[in-house]
C-alpha cells in the first residue's frame, strides 16, 4: 500500500497563488516537457538516427563490394556517401523517413490528449483554446527542427566514419560562404517539407480526435498519393495538371533544390519550386486555420 492517509494539514498554502493564465511560453514548455519525458520521442529520434546511419552504411558496403563499370573508380562511386555529395541523399532520406516519423509525433501531440482524456484537463483549466492549439503547433515545428537536426548529425557522423574507416579523403574544401548558405537552405527546405506532412497529420487528428486516424491518414496519404501521382502521369496533360496540385510533386520540386556543387539530375515534370512553395504554404495555412476553427468551436466531452 503506497498511498497513505490524506493529511489533516490545511489544503490552503501559506502563500497566495495568483489566479492567472499561463503565458504562451509556459504552454510550449509544458508541451516540450511532455515530449521530453515520453519514451516515444526518444524512440522516434533513435529510429531516425539509426535508419539514416544504417542505410548509409549498408549502401556504402553494397557499393564498395559491387562491380563498377570500367573507368569508374571507387572514390567516384561512393561520392554520395562522402562530403559534399552526402548532403543531397542525406536530406532526401530525412525528408522520406522524417515525414513518417513526424506524422506519428504530430498526431500524438494532440491525439494522445484525446485518448488519455487529458484534453479535458487542458481545456477545462481555462486556457484559451487558440493559445493551447497554437502552442501544440509550435511544439510540432520545434520537433520538426530537432528531428532534422538529429538526422543531419547522424548522416554527417556516418559520412565522416565512412571516410575514415573506408580510407577516403575527408575533403572539406567544398565548404565556403556560398555552400554554407546552400547547406542552411537545405535545412530550411527539408524542415518546410516535413512540417507540411506534420500539419496534415495534426489537422486530421484534430478533426477525428483520434491518434490512430491521424497516423493512418498521414502515412496513408503519402502512400496513396504516390500511387495517384503515378496513375495521373499516365493520363497526359490533365493528369499532370492535377498532379501538380498534390503534395508530393510540390514537395519533390522543393527537395530537388537540395544539392551542393554540380547538379546531376533533371527536374523535368516537376512544378516550379516557387509555385510549389507558395502552394504548400497555402495548404499548410489552410490546414492550420481549419484546426484552429474546429478546435475552438467543438465540444470537448462526452458522457452523462
Interface with another protein includes 142 (CB under 8 A)?
no
Query: Are the C-beta atoms of 81 and 90 separated by less than 8 Å?
Result: no
Q: How far is the CB of 145 from another protein (least distance, A)?
A: 21
Q: How far is the CB of 259 from another protein (least distance, A)?
A: 41
- Given the rule CB under 8 A, which of 120-128, 172-180, 217-225, 278-286 is the region that contacts another protein? 120-128
Q: Dihedral of the CA atoms 171, 145, 48, 181 (nearest 10)?
A: -20
Q: How far is the CB of 300 from another protein (least distance, A)?
A: 4
Contacts of 63 (CB under 8 A, 6+ apart): 77, 78, 81
Q: How far is the CB of 109 from another protein (least distance, A)?
A: 12
**Candidate residues 71, 167, 177, 304; the one interacting with another protein per rule CB under 8 A:** 304
∠ CA 150-153-157 to the nearest 5 degrees? 145
Q: Dihedral of the CA atoms 174, 274, 256, 222 (nearest 10)?
A: 140
Rank residues 7 and 237 by Cβ distance to another protein and give the closer one: 7
**Candidate residues 46, 54, 124, 226; the one interacting with another protein per rule CB under 8 A:** 124
Show the cell assigned to 37: 519525458
Interface with another protein includes 237 (CB under 8 A)?
no
Q: Tell me the per-residue interface mask from 32 to 61 with another protein, x by CB under 8 A, - otherwise.
A: -xx--xxx----------------------
Q: 3-state class of 11 per DSSP?
A: coil
Q: 3-state class of 23 per DSSP?
A: coil
- Cα separation, 206 vs 53, in Å, equals 34
Please choose, from the candidates 42, 140, 156, 40, the residue with its C-alpha nearest in 3D space to the C-alpha of residue 93.
156
Interface with another protein includes 117 (CB under 8 A)?
yes
Query: Are the C-beta atoms of 178 and 261 separated by less than 8 Å?
Result: no
Interface with another protein includes 105 (CB under 8 A)?
no
Interface positions, 15-34, toward another protein (CB under 8 A): 16-23, 26-27, 29-30, 33-34
Binding residues for another protein (CB under 8 A): 2-13, 16-23, 26-27, 29-30, 33-34, 37-39, 116-118, 120-128, 297, 299-304
Amino acid at each position: 500500500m503506497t498511498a497513505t492517509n490524506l493529511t489533516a494539514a490545511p489544503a490552503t498554502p501559506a502563500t497566495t497563488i495568483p489566479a492567472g493564465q499561463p503565458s504562451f511560453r509556459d504552454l510550449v514548455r509544458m508541451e516540450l516537457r511532455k515530449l521530453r519525458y515520453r519514451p516515444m520521442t526518444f524512440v522516434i529520434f533513435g529510429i531516425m538516427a539509426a535508419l539514416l546511419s544504417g542505410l548509409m552504411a549498408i549502401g556504402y558496403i553494397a557499393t564498395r563490394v559491387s562491380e563498377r563499370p570500367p573507368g569508374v573508380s571507387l572514390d567516384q562511386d561512393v561520392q554520395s556517401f562522402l562530403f559534399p555529395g552526402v548532403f543531397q541523399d542525406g536530406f532526401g532520406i530525412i525528408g522520406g523517413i522524417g515525414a513518417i516519423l513526424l506524422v506519428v509525433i504530430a498526431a500524438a501531440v494532440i491525439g494522445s490528449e484525446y485518448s488519455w482524456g487529458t484534453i479535458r484537463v487542458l481545456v477545462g483549466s481555462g486556457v484559451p483554446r487558440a493559445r493551447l492549439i497554437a502552442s501544440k503547433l509550435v511544439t510540432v515545428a520545434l520537433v520538426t527542427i530537432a528531428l532534422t537536426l538529429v538526422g543531419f548529425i547522424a548522416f554527417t557522423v556516418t559520412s565522416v566514419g565512412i571516410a575514415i574507416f573506408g580510407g577516403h579523403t575527408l575533403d572539406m574544401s567544398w565548404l565556403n560562404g556560398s555552400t554554407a548558405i546552400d547547406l542552411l537552405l537545405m535545412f530550411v527546405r527539408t524542415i518546410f517539407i516535413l512540417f507540411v506532412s506534420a500539419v496534415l497529420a495534426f489537422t486530421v487528428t484534430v478533426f477525428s480526435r483520434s491518434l490512430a486516424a491521424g497516423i493512418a491518414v498521414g502515412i496513408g496519404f503519402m502512400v496513396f498519393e504516390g500511387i495517384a501521382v503515378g496513375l495521373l502521369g499516365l493520363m497526359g496533360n490533365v493528369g499532370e495538371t492535377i498532379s501538380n496540385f498534390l503534395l508530393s510533386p510540390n514537395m519533390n520540386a522543393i527537395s530537388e533544390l537540395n544539392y551542393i556543387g554540380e547538379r546531376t539530375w533533371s527536374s523535368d515534370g516537376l512544378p516550379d519550386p516557387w509555385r510549389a512553395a507558395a502552394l504548400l504554404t497555402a495548404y499548410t495555412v489552410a490546414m492550420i486555420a481549419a484546426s484552429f476553427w474546429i478546435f475552438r468551436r467543438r465540444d470537448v466531452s462526452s458522457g452523462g
